[in-house]
Copies of this chain bind each other. A is one copy, B any other.
Amino acid sequence: MSQQSRDDQDALIDALAQTAFVVTAVLGRIGLEHDLSLTQLRMLGVLRDRRLRMSGLASFLGLEKSTLSGLVDRACARGLVERSADPDDRRAVIVALSARGAELAAEVFAEVSEQLLPLLAALGPAEQSRLRALLAGLLASP
């Protein structure tokens, strides 16, 4: 039993797309309050746990290296990230959060949690666990 009709699947896909838009909108709004585009926000998020070369960061974000040059330029000018030389390869440039960038990233991502939490409050604790497990399954699928 419990067959999935075409309509059921469509409804799920719709729900997923809408959820994506809602979450993205929250990220965008919080970013805006700190003068950060979604891309800058993602960059800060990626750099929270890592130091990367320009090329590595570009492929992480799915951007061309020329795009990243501009992105890093602007973040650098604002003192959020820093470029440094790679001692192993003099062509390469390492990008890392500055102290101020790390501080801002922590602040922003705390706000994100804060603003998504009320959304989650619509679900009970058991349901939250269940949702977490389901999304984990989804994300693991490659």
Contact = CB atoms under 8 A, between A and B. Distances in A.
A130 to B, nearest CB: 7
Interface residues of A, number: 50
A11 B132 contact: yes
Given A2-B129, A128-B8, A141-B119, A135 B15 contact: yes
Given A17-B112, A125-B4, A137-B122, A132 B12 contact: yes
Interface string A101-142: 000000000001100111111110111111110111111111
A25 interface: yes
Q: Give the number of times this chain occurs in the complex, counting copies.
A: 2
Contacts of A132: 8, 11-12, 15
A64 interface: no
Contact of A20 (B19, B62, B142): B19
A18 interface: yes
A113 B19 contact: no
A16 interface: yes
B9 A16 contact: no
A30 to B, nearest CB: 12
